Every structure is written in C-alpha cells, then in structure tokens.
Amino acid sequence: MRATSLRIFLKVILLNVTILYSSYLFSAVHLIAESGQSAAGFTSEYTYNNLMTPVIGSSGHVAFTGDAIGRNKLNAVWSGLPGQLKVIIKENDSVPGFPDNVFFSSALSTNTIGSRIFAMQAERIIVTESGHVGFIAELKEFGAISQDYPFGVVAYVGGKIYGILRNGDQAPGFSQEYSIRGITNLAFTDAGMVIQAVVADRNSNQSERMGIWFWNFETLELIPSPVANCSYILLSTAISSVNINQSGKVAFSSGLGGALCPSETFGIFKWDQKKTQMILAGGDPVPGMADTTFHLDLDNRGLNIFAINANILSFNDQGEISFPAILRNAANGSAKKSLWVADSSGAIKLLSLEGEFLAEDVNNTFLLPFTEASLPLIASNGLSIVPVKTDSSIAILTGAPRPSQPYANINEAGVSQLSTVLQLADQPPGFGDTWFFSAFSSIAMNKAGQFALSGTVVDADDTSIDVYGSPSSRKFGIWRGTSKSDLELVAYDGMPFFVKGEEMGLYFLIQRFVNGTAGSVITFSESQILHSSTEGGRATQLNDSGQIVFGGSFEAPGGDFRRGIFLAEGKNNQEERVFALAEQVFPDLFSPANGVNQTAEGFLFRFYPATNTYLGIKNETVFVAGERFGSGIIEVGPLENVIVFLEAQ
C-alpha cells in the first residue's frame, strides 16, 4: 500500500510540475517574506508590514527591517536562512552592553548630528558569511537626560545581541573629555567590525576628530594614526569610508590633521591588526606624470556624492583597494578624473583615466561620472567593474589595472585596457529583439567576478507614452552574469511566480490611482541592487553563490498590492534548494535532513539512512531511488520545475 501511494505521489509531482512550468519561466525566484504574513518571532496576531532593506550574506543568510502590526506596531529586524527567519531584535527590547535604561527603537535610516546629516541609508544592515548581523540603531533612553541623537552600533552574533558603541559614550582610546558625537560608518565580517565616528570634547564641539575602532567581538581597539602628532579628522570636502576583509585587514579613507600635525591632508590607509600604513595621501605625485599630484578630497567639485558615509573604496580579500582620484597638473592647472588600484603591497596602478577610448570603439572616449553608483568594484580575481559615460551612451567595463602607468601627462589618452560588458541600447537578455536597455541603476559584484545589474528596458516598437512622459513599455529588471555572453534575466516587472500553487505577478514599478486618477510611479529602492561588493564587509544584495535578495511588490488575490522580500537563487544553489525543500516538505521520505552531498556517475546526491532513500540531481534533472519508490532510479523532472512544485506546498 505504501509503495503504491509513493508511486501516485511521484505521478502527482510530474503532473503538477508540468502544469506549473507551462506558465512559469523564472522559477528560481521565490518569496521569503510578505506584508500580511505572520511575523516571525511574534505572537500569532502580528503580521509583517513595510518590509525594507533586504541584504544577504555569503552563506545565504538574509536580513531585513520592517515593522510588525498586531495590538500595536513594533519596528524589528529579522534574519536567518530563508524558511528559518527569526526576529533578532524588536522595538523596546533592551540592548545588552548599553545601560539598562536604553532600548532598541529601530534600525537607522537617517542619522542627524547637529547641522550635519549622516545619511545612513547608504549603509544598510550587514550580514557576514557566518550570519552575524551588524547595523546602526536608533535607541530610546528613559529615566535620564536623553542624548540629542540616541544612536548606537548593534550586532547580533551567535544568537545574542551586543550593544557596541553609542553616541554620548566616552570615546575609547581618547582622553576622558572626548565622547562619541556621531557614528558615521561601519563594516563587518567574520573577522570583526570596524566603526567610524566623530568624537568631540564634551566642553567644546569645535574640537572634533574622527575615531576609527576595531571590534574583535569582545573589545574595541582604537586604530592609531600612522603619523606622529596627527589625528584622523572629518573634512567637509572629503568622503570618509571604512572596509574590512575576511582576514581582518582594514582599509579606510579619512582626513588627517590637528594642531601639531605638519599639514592637513586626506588619505587612504590600511591597518593589519599591528600597524597603520598610509597607502596614499592628497598631494602625492602621480607615477610617471611630471608636476601632477593626486587629490582625494572629492567634494562636489569632483565626486557627486553628498552622503558623508558613502563608500568610495572597494577592498577585497587579497588586500587590494580600488579608489577614485582627481589628478591635477600644477604647471597648467588642468585636472582629470581617474580610478586606481593599490595592490596588496601598496603599489599604485592605473585602472582608468578619463578621456581614454573604448577598446571596442577607438572613436568613442569615455568620462568617469564619479557618482556613488559608478565607482569601481574589485573582486578577489583582480578584476574590477567600472560604469562609465561615453560620447553617446553609458557603458559597463571590466578588467584589471594596467601593470604600468603609460601616460606622461594627464592630457594623453590611449585605448583602455578594460573591455566592454554592456552599453545602453544593447538588447537585454530575456526580452525580445526590439527591446533595449534604457538605463542602468547600479551593480553589485562578488569575489568570483560575477555581477548583478539592475536597470530599465524599453520596447523600441512601442512608441506610446504614459501620463508621466515615460515609455509605456518601460520595465524594471535585474540581471546576473560574468559577461555579456552569459548574462541572464533574474526578475522583471510582471514576472509570474507562485505562492502555494497560486500564480502572482512581481512588480517594481507600480502606478497608484487616487480617485480614479493616476498617481505617482513608485520604484521600490530595495529592487535597485546596492552598488556594492561581497568583499570589504559592506551591505550587499548579491552573495558569492550568486543569490540575490531584493524587495518588490506583487498583486495578491483580491487585487491588493503587497510588499515582499524575494530571493533569486544562483545556479549552483538550485541543487541545494531542492535538497532543503524536499527534506522540509517530505521528511517521511528524506530523513535526516542536512545530509552530506556526494557524487557518483555524474549525480550530485544525498543518501538518507533513516528512510533508506536517495535524492539526486544530474544534468539539471531530479531523480529519486530506494525501495519506497519502487525499483531502479526514478526520474522526477527538470530541476527548476521541481523547485516550483516544492515551493508551492
């Protein structure tokens, strides 16, 4: 009887998979949380609401913020593997490490410090490879004189919350009169956390300095200045940033000055747990260019970034740093934008100089926009990805820095060593021949050199215009690949997906109607992939396995739009997804869960000793074996189809 029921079960799988697959092309995207769903970690009357800022770690752990609505509304942060989400902290929770009268309010989006605004939205929650979570939180203080700006750094490590540093604390490593005036930045990996903050004399707000600390999961260590009598300072004309890699090395940019400092400058630094090294300082000579110097204080004269915590560096696990600089010639006053890489030894190599020619089109020069979404990202394989503005388009380039600097002056320009991955007007994978890219939003890159791209596409054959003056055919999408040849569409406006067997549509651009009149078009910022790398300890929506987490909306049964957090699996993760889902949905067939992956005769498989069964994958097809299924190896169906079926259960 049991064997018969299992054969029927397999036939049902095959039948359902075939039906689902006929209307579903992008089955590797699934919903992991949605507004209106029971909120993990809360009592049953609480549901998710206003889900935002999704991020992901290299091992697949995700985190996001939002609030839960029930008897009241409570802000919260959730994290975990998909299907195993838990609330790690919620509004009014105490924060161990901070005073007893201090409680969590929300994950921070904007940090206002005096007349300055530190726009923390540029740095979201960070998830490390092991699933640790770090973020800047807004706090509540009761029973005492509250800080004007009660913000602090909070971490979730090993199932516990840690309050690390907050505004108003005595600044570790400084004399007693100095306190934390404003936390501006952080980066976090399994090697530890680096925090950057403004410190000031309690008696004089004019005596501001910059402090940079390393947290080793127990204590804070002040990272020292490499120059005697000089302190890190905040410069209004410069962008400070911090990064940390998996080995615990720290790269950062900061001003350097002080009353006894020989001169005030801005520099790029590296700290290796023992000493601080200045990699480059403003005013240093450019290799091979007479009378030409580096200028790193990139304000609105050069870098179109206004958030003081924006990250201008990219730092990989090999210790390489990519960064922008303006080159200035003292003899004639000319200036040009440029991009450079400092290798692990500190040697400076040219990545790109404004005015160079595209390798594929020597009649087309390019400019460096110097916006936060156009700064270079460097991977562990030594390749960087660089968005540029050409004479007629926007292009995305990739490649390694030059082994030597070929130009004698900044007015020379040759053919770039970088190759073109994409340009606007290229045909977007996943769309018809008449479609083209109309805009690139941002790019993320992982250590293997794979990238995720967000942007909009338009159908050239559809010339109609909507009420906002935009093409009616416009769609937002996310792509993933390592080159133009293997670029694949991951998600797009109107894409169907399934929740418990019901087909729904995913949307990034939503037109609201108020009293029968079209309202504004809303682009969910979470769908625009963060311009980030998986290395350097920063927030990212792409991980090293190719998984992408993003926010969007979908039309639920009944016509109402709901916010959701979605996960797009990497190709290598689809196998793991089948194992995990099968073990979760059918524990009576595949136990114990989380077995060891094995290979034989082209199969990737798991053996389940408790049920004496096998689940295997070969050539993107799923198979089962064992007495409970009958004799021989039984084909279940295509890998993606099986994922669709299992997710619908």
pLDDT of 28 over the 80 cut: no
CA pair distance 335, 541, nearest whole angstrom: 35
With a CB cutoff of 8 Å and minimum separation 6, the contacts of 148 are: none
Q: Are 65 and 53 in contact (CB under 8 A)?
A: yes
CA 202 to chain centre: 36
Instruction: Count H helices and E strands in the chain, helices first.
Output: 3, 48
Write the pLDDT tens digit of every residue in 301-339.
444 333 333 568 999 999 999 999 999 999 988 999 999
CA pair distance 68, 311, nearest whole angstrom: 31
- Helix (H, G, I), strand (E, B), or coil: what is residue 530? coil
Name the β-bridge partners of 212: 196
Q: What is the residue whose two structure tokens read 């292009």? A: 395
Amino acid at 529: I
Polymer length of the chain:
649
pLDDT at position 303, please? 41
What does the pLDDT average to over 354-362? 90
Residue 569 DSSP one-character state? P
Q: What is the dihedral of CA 111, 116, 121, 125, to 10 degrees?
A: -50
pLDDT of 67 over the 90 cut: yes
pLDDT at position 620, please? 81
pLDDT of 384 over the 90 cut: yes
pLDDT at position 23, please? 32
Instruction: State the DSSP H helix or E strand holding residue 23, giving kind and residue range, or none if neither.
Output: none
Q: How deeply is 345 buried, as exposed, middle or buried, from its count of CB atoms within 10 A (0-12, 13-18, 19+)?
A: exposed
Q: What is the residue whose two structure tokens read 């820095």? A: 401
CA 78 to chain centre: 16
Write the pLDDT tens digit of every residue in 68-99.
999 999 999 999 998 899 999 999 999 999 99
pLDDT at position 467, please? 79
pLDDT at position 305, please? 34
pLDDT at position 123, please? 52
Write the pLDDT tens digit of every residue in 454-486.
999 999 999 998 877 888 899 999 999 988 888
Write the pLDDT tens digit of every residue in 115-174.
333 333 335 799 999 999 999 999 998 875 555 568 999 999 999 999 999 999 999 999
pLDDT at position 507, please? 86
pLDDT of 12 over the 70 cut: no
CA pair distance 329, 404, nearest whole angstrom: 20
Closest listed residue to residue 186, CA positions, set 157, 211, 208, 159: 211
Which tops the pLDDT comparison, 233 or 576? 233
Q: How many CB atoms lie within 10 A of CB 333?
A: 7
Highest mean pLDDT among 19-28, 87-96, 539-548: 87-96
Write the pLDDT tens digit of every residue in 623-647.
999 988 888 899 998 887 888 778 7
- For 356, phi then psi, to 5°, come to -70, 165
Q: Are 309 and 118 in contact (CB under 8 A)?
A: yes
pLDDT at position 623, please? 94
pLDDT at position 572, please? 60
Q: What is the residue whose two structure tokens read 């092991």? A: 130
What does the pLDDT average to over 379-395? 90
What does the pLDDT average to over 603-614? 92
pLDDT at position 236, please? 64
Which tops the pLDDT comparison, 39 or 393? 39
pLDDT of 517 over the 50 cut: no
pLDDT at position 344, please? 94
pLDDT at position 124, please? 75
Q: What is the dihedral of CA 71, 73, 74, 76, to 10 degrees?
A: 120
pLDDT at position 301, please? 41
pLDDT of 512 over the 50 cut: no
pTM of the model: 0.83
pLDDT at position 216, please? 97
pLDDT at position 366, please? 86
Q: Are 89 and 105 in contact (CB under 8 A)?
A: no
Average pLDDT, the chain: 84
Which tops the pLDDT comparison, 545 or 309? 545
Closest listed residue to residue 181, CA positions, set 172, 173, 193, 169: 169
* Pairing relationship of beta strands 451-459 and 475-481 according to DSSP bridges: antiparallel
Phi-psi region of 362 (alpha: psi -120 to 50; beta: other; left: phi over 0): alpha
With a CB cutoff of 8 Å and minimum separation 6, the contacts of 216 are: 192
pLDDT at position 163, please? 98
Residue 445 tokens, joined? 């890159």
pLDDT of 358 over the 70 cut: yes
pLDDT at position 469, please? 80
pLDDT at position 206, please? 63
